[in-house]
Structure formats: structure tokens, C-alpha cells
Amino acid sequence: MNDGRLGTQVRIVGSGLLGTSIGLGLREHDVDVVIDDASPSSARLALDYGAGRAPASGDAPGLVVVCVPPDVTAAVVAAELAAHPDAVVCDVASVKRGVLDELTALGADLRRFVGTHPMAGRERGGAISGRADLFVGRPWVVVRESAEPAAAGLVEDLILDLGAVPVFLSADQHDRAVALVSHAPQLVASLFAARLRDGEAAALGLAGQGLRDVTRIASSDPALWVQILTANADAVAGVLRSMRDDLDAVLAALEDPDAGGSRRALADALGNGNSGVARIPGKHGQDNRFSQLVVLVADRPGELARLLTDIGAIGVNMEDLRLEHSPGAQIGFAEISVLPEAEEHLTEQLEARGWTISGSTT
């Protein structure tokens, strides 16, 4: 058991990825977590997974966390505020202004409401993807607006107990920020990935890490994203309009590459990209909590098991493992994530056992 800051019963409404992960994380601090969901089968999975217990008569939550799709968030928050008049209610929806406006229109008690948005997620949703450590080290936006200080403090305790970093923004600041760093990139990835539908098979066979990275988030759930994009349409459109203008300039340069100024226009587009990407804090392209080792593995049954047996014998805990294998090659790559302090020891010990480390992935 690990004492957390929260000293109250927590009711989670919605047992998808976020609700389940919040429940798992709070259970590590022995918080009394109640999980409720309009879908009994979804709730069942979260309960089996250990994210909390089913509702019971006499439940008296001090904090309700609403983790439902964006387009029903305001209605569920209003219902929870009414049903639990002594509780603080927060939501986790990806857009904050629209929820506030709807709640105002519904006449909800905004002194007990705190809008939040954890900047964490996974490609796959659902309780099955829930993780207690989903929020560790991640920013978690808090929009106080009309909330009383005690209400905001309770939500801040929730966030700190889950290992996340509270970031206080206004609703409008938040919505502009996520348009730039989350919503517009989602559409750009989807719009580019759509080009691959008509590509020749030979072309797809040449795909490397660059293409995989640019398009990775294009596998996100369209129904959820239509809700998010619709709720933040103005801000997202602003970002994409400026991209469209630059895209038109690049297209003009490509359509007449020998014209005066065409090479300059391309160089400017690439140079501006350099400047932009340099503004992203921290290490690029990887989960910066872990170091990645790439080990060459012969494409034979049993080789990967032998590698994992060796890693177990060396006594290092793998945080993640991914296998990459090119069709036709006699060899694959196992990308192993470990805590940074374990990397050197693991590399030495694996090499001593005859494994080839091909470096860290780029």
C-alpha cells in the first residue's frame, strides 16, 4: 500500500481507457474506487481488471471523474453534479470551452466543477488497454474557471496521486494549445495516410520508420475524433489554413522546380520545419522515460524466447518490447525499452552472451 493525497471515495463514470487507467492508478493508493458505465460489459472488463468496485447503495463519493465521450460529457457532468450535491465533479474531455458553455446553459453548479484534460493516451482504447502508469510524468491540464479553491485542490490531488503534472490554463488557452499539438496533427496524419490507400504494393514494401512515424496516429478512432474536431473546429481550422497556404507554395515550387525561387521556397519550407520541431521540449521520437536497445534476432523459432530468457537471467526488467521484421529478411530487430540506468549493464551482458546490439532506434 502506498498512501496518496486523496482521502475520499472516488466515483468514475465511464470505463474506457481513461476511466480504467485512473481506477488502476488510484487502487495502487488503496483509494475506494467505484466504477460505473452505461455499458455493463465494458464496466465488467474494468472491474475484472481491478480498476475498482461496482456501485452500491450508500456510496458517498467526494470526487466524481467523468470519462465519457466528448459529446455527452456536459450532460453526464450535469447529472452527476445533481445526483451528488456534496461532491466535486471533473471531466477529462479533450476540448474544454464547449463543455463549460453547455454546463452554463444547463444551469449547473460550476463552483463544484473542474474541467481537466490528461495529455496521455494510447492508439487503442477500451478498458483492455488501461494502465495504472498511463499518466506518469505527463501534463494534465486543469481549467479552474468558476471552481472554488477547495474543488480545484481535490482535483489537483487526484492528478498528483496518478503521477501526472498539473498545468493550469484557461479553457480558451487549452483549446488553442491542443488544436496545435494534438488535433491538427491527428488530421495531418490521417490526410497523409489516406494517400497510402492507392499506393502500389511495391511502394508500401519500401516503407521505413519515417512513414510509420508520420502516419502512426492515423489509426485512431474516427467516431471519437469527429466529436473532438467538431468541438474545437475554429482553432483546428486556423492551424490547418496556415499549413494549406504553405502547402500551396511548395506545390507551386514542385510544379516548376527550375523556376527562379522554387529551390528557395522548398528550402524555406524545410528550414521552417527544422525551426518548428526544435521547439518541442525533450528528446524527439521516443518515450523519454526509457532507453531503447535494438538487438538483432535471427528469424528462427525460439530465438526470441532465448533472448528473453537471457534478459530475465541478467535480471533487467523490460518496460516494453517491440519486434520489427522486414519481409524476406533472415533477421529481425527486437527493440527493448529499459530504465536508462539499466541500459549499459544489459548491453554488456547481452554482448557477452553473443547477442548483437545494433544501437538505439532512430
Region 31-50 residues binding a second copy, contact defined as CB under 8 A: 49-50
2 near a second copy, judged by CB under 8 A: no
10 touches 61 (CB < 8 A) = yes
C-alpha 30/C-alpha 34 separation (Å) is 12
Question: Which single residue is written with the C-alpha cell 538487438?
Answer: 295
In the complex, what is the shortest distance from the CB of residue 181 to a second copy, in angstroms, rounded to a whole number?
A: 5
Residue 331, strand partner residues:
298
Dihedral sign computed on CA atoms, order 178, 180, 181, 182: positive
Q: How many residues bind a second copy (CB under 8 A)?
A: 154
In the complex, what is the shortest distance from the CB of residue 83 to a second copy, in angstroms, rounded to a whole number?
A: 28
C-alpha 283/C-alpha 315 separation (Å) is 27
104 near a second copy, judged by CB under 8 A: no
Stretch that binds a second copy, among 31-39, 53-61, 147-155, 221-229 (CB under 8 A): 221-229
77 near a second copy, judged by CB under 8 A: no
Question: Which single residue is written with the C-alpha cell 507554395?
Answer: 249
In the chain, how long is the greatest CA-to-CA distance?
Answer: 77
In the complex, what is the shortest distance from the CB of residue 9 to a second copy, in angstroms, rounded to a whole number?
A: 19
CA 281 vs CA 164, 168, 361: distances in Å: 17, 18, 19
Report the site for a second copy in 161-220 (rule: CB under 8 A).
Answer: 163, 165, 167, 169, 173, 176-178, 180-182, 184-197, 199-200, 202-220
Report the site for a second copy in 132-151 (rule: CB under 8 A).
Answer: 132-133, 136-139, 141
In the complex, what is the shortest distance from the CB of residue 100 to a second copy, in angstroms, rounded to a whole number?
A: 18
SS3 content of the chain, % helix, strand, coil (to 5): 50, 15, 35
Binds a second copy by CB under 8 A, chosen from 320, 344, 348, 351: 320
- Residues in contact with a second copy, shown as a per-residue x/- string from 256 to 285 under the rule CB under 8 A: -x----xx--xx-xxxxxxxxxxxxxxxxx
In the complex, what is the shortest distance from the CB of residue 284 to a second copy, in angstroms, rounded to a whole number?
A: 5
362 near a second copy, judged by CB under 8 A: yes
In the complex, what is the shortest distance from the CB of residue 89 to a second copy, in angstroms, rounded to a whole number?
A: 23
Question: Which single residue is written with the C-alpha cell 492507392?
Answer: 198
81 touches 113 (CB < 8 A) = yes
Binds a second copy by CB under 8 A, chosen from 82, 105, 247, 352: 247
- Helix H or strand E segment including 47: helix 40-48
CA terminus-to-terminus distance, the chain: 39
Amino acid at the residue 188: V
Binds a second copy by CB under 8 A, chosen from 121, 157, 339, 347: 121
In the complex, what is the shortest distance from the CB of residue 81 to a second copy, in angstroms, rounded to a whole number?
A: 27
Residue 341, strand partner residues:
none
Residue 138: how many other CB atoms lie within 10 Å:
17
83 near a second copy, judged by CB under 8 A: no
Stretch that binds a second copy, among 19-27, 34-42, 82-90, 149-157 (CB under 8 A): 19-27
Binds a second copy by CB under 8 A, chosen from 321, 340, 345, 352: 321
Q: Measured from the CB atom, is 81 or 232 closer to a second copy?
A: 232
Binds a second copy by CB under 8 A, chosen from 63, 74, 81, 120: 120
112 touches 90 (CB < 8 A) = no
Binds a second copy by CB under 8 A, chosen from 54, 106, 308, 339: 308
**Cβ neighbours of residue 38 closer than 8 Å, sequence gap 6 or more:** none
Question: Which single residue is written with the C-alpha cell 493525497?
Answer: 5
In the complex, what is the shortest distance from the CB of residue 88 to a second copy, in angstroms, rounded to a whole number?
A: 24
5 near a second copy, judged by CB under 8 A: no
